[in-house]
């Protein structure tokens, strides 16, 4: 059975329970909320007892079999939640989970819960076995462009009326932190009651709890969004991110753009550049557009500047690493922005 989209999972649960589930992903809030739905459905279906196992390092996998074999004094049906930190059950755990998927027990509903799974983990034999026998669903991070819609839908569920600008403000201030965003909606529900929320109320009440990863910076740069580039840099610095890692994420795209310009000038194939740098297909069009739309050699010079920043970051030359990163990032973002402006004309 193919993976079930996470937004479709609650409706799938309501239609009927499967004997085994794997619920994993990058959004703990979404995972816990869908688990609440699953628990409620299980109670209605007669699973009167719930047991939680934590399969951390040194976990005795025979406990899972013992849990399902032991009879309960209170109920004949049991919900078993197996929390799997790291998403790696090991050889023994993988064998146990595959065996359980092969012979599901109607009286013992097993829910395996994990956080982020790497691509190799999502393709592992135990994951495939659960997907075939029951349900596998992965909570991907919400895309930035989807956050405003998510805010408005959740606010409506809480009896709030938000216009697009207020929802966008809330999404911007809590990007990358879905739990904080949900809490801000709850806070506004208490402050505003059932009425519409004004922009002044939102600005005063909603804090800035956005979280950014290193790869958010090059995405902002490629989008030509200078203000967002500055915001991400300031937040990464405030969170104690290492400048060398921030530079690595930024320089990677600069190097791709420099190689693309070289290929476009006739010294190579664009497809070879994309393959060599392992560029995702979803990013290839944007990178090619920027390479074509900027002056030949611009990104090679930018790459040279990045090498200078690298020496400063590593202490080989004097300078302030974050100031240098700020200048490099904004210069690159302005170059991308100039392409974007021409494309919109």
The DSSP-derived string for 87-123 is: G--HHHHHHHHHHHHHS--TTEEEEEE-S---HHHHT
Residue 317 contacts residue 311 (beta carbons within 8 Å): yes
* Residues 288-315, mean pLDDT to the nearest whole number: 93
Residue 35 contacts residue 10 (beta carbons within 8 Å): no
Note the pLDDT of residue 68: 66
Note the pLDDT of residue 138: 94
Nearest to 152 by CA among 188, 177, 176, 190: 188
Tokens standing for residue 289: 């557009």
Q: Does the pLDDT at position 181 exceed 70?
A: yes
The Cα-based distances of 159 to 29, 54, 182, 191, 207 in angstroms read 20, 37, 14, 12, 21
What is the phi/psi pair of residue 224, to 5°?
A: 70, 25
Note the pLDDT of residue 97: 93
pLDDT tens digit string along 116-171? 999 889 999 999 999 999 999 999 988 888 899 899 888 888 888 888 888 888 88
Q: Does the pLDDT at position 313 exceed 70?
A: yes
Q: What is the pTM of this model?
A: 0.70
Going by pLDDT thresholds of 50, 70 and 90, the confidence category of residue 306 is very high
Q: Does the pLDDT at position 256 exceed 90?
A: yes
Q: Does the pLDDT at position 213 exceed 80?
A: yes
Dihedral (C-alpha) 96, 99, 100, 104: value to the nearest 10 degrees?
-170
Least-confidence region, from 32-41, 186-195, 238-247, 275-284: 186-195
Residue with the larger pLDDT of the pair 192 and 251: 251
6-139 placed in CATH 3.30.465.10: no
Domain definitions of the chain by residue range: 6-139, 144-205, 216-344
Q: Does the pLDDT at position 248 exceed 90?
A: yes
Nearest to 302 by CA among 333, 270, 265, 338: 333
Average model confidence (pLDDT) across the chain: 88
> The domain 216-344: what is its CATH number?
1.20.272.10
Q: Does the pLDDT at position 286 exceed 70?
A: yes
* Residues 210-235, mean pLDDT to the nearest whole number: 90
Note the pLDDT of residue 175: 86
Find all residues with CB under 8 Å of 78, minimum gap 6, and list them. Answer: 47, 48, 49, 50, 51, 67, 68, 72, 107, 108, 109
Note the pLDDT of residue 72: 53
The DSSP line for 55-96 is --TT--THHHHHHHHSPPSS-S-EEEEEE-GGG--HHHHHHH
Give strand ranges (E) for 119-174. 135-139
Note the pLDDT of residue 176: 82
Q: Does the pLDDT at position 1 exceed 80?
A: no
In whole angstroms, what separates CA 232 from the centre of its chain? 16
Tokens standing for residue 156: 């409506």
Note the pLDDT of residue 69: 65
> The domain 144-205: what is its CATH number?
1.10.8.60
Going by pLDDT thresholds of 50, 70 and 90, the confidence category of residue 243 is very high
- Residue tagged 């699973």 (tokens): 47
Note the pLDDT of residue 328: 95
Find all residues with CB under 8 Å of 71, minimum gap 6, and list them. Answer: none
Going by pLDDT thresholds of 50, 70 and 90, the confidence category of residue 339 is confident
């Amino acid at each position: 059975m193919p993976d079930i989209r996470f937004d479709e999972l609650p409706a799938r649960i309501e239609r009927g329970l499967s004997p085994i589930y794997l619920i994993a992903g990058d959004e703990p809030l979404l995972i816990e909320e869908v688990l609440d739905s699953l628990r409620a459905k299980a109670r209605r279906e007669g699973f009167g007892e719930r047991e939680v196992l934590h399969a951390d390092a040194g976990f005795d996998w025979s406990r899972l079999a013992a849990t399902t074999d032991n009879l309960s004094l209170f109920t004949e049906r049991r919900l078993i939640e197996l929390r799997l930190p790291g998403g790696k059950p090991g050889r023994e755990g993988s064998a146990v989970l595959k065996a359980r998927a092969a012979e599901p027990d109607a009286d013992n509903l097993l829910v395996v819960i994990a956080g982020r799974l790497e691509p190799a983990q999502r393709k592992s034999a135990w994951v495939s076995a659960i997907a075939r026998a029951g349900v596998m669903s992965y909570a991907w991070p919400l895309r930035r462009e989807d956050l405003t819609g998510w805010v408005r839908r959740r606010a409506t569920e809480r009896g709030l009326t938000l216009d697009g600008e207020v929802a966008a403000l809330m999404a911007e201030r809590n990007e990358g932190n879905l739990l904080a965003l949900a809490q801000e909606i709850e806070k506004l529900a208490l402050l505003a009651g059932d009425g519409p929320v004004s922009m002044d109320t939102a600005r005063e009440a909603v804090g800035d709890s956005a979280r950014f990863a290193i790869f958010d910076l090059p995405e902002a740069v490629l989008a030509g969004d200078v203000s967002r580039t500055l915001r991400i840099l300031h937040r990464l610095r405030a969170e104690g991110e290492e400048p060398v890692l921030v530079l690595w994420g930024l320089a990677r795209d600069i190097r791709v753009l420099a190689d693309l310009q070289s290929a476009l000038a006739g010294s190579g194939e664009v497809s070879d550049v994309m393959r060599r740098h392992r560029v995702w297909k979803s990013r290839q069009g944007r990178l090619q557009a920027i390479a074509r739309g900027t002056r030949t050699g611009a990104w090679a010079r930018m790459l040279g500047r990045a090498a200078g920043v690298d020496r400063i970051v590593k202490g080989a030359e004097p300078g302030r690493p974050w100031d240098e990163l700020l200048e490099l990032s904004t210069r690159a973002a302005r170059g991308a922005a100039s392409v974007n402006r021409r494309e919109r004309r």
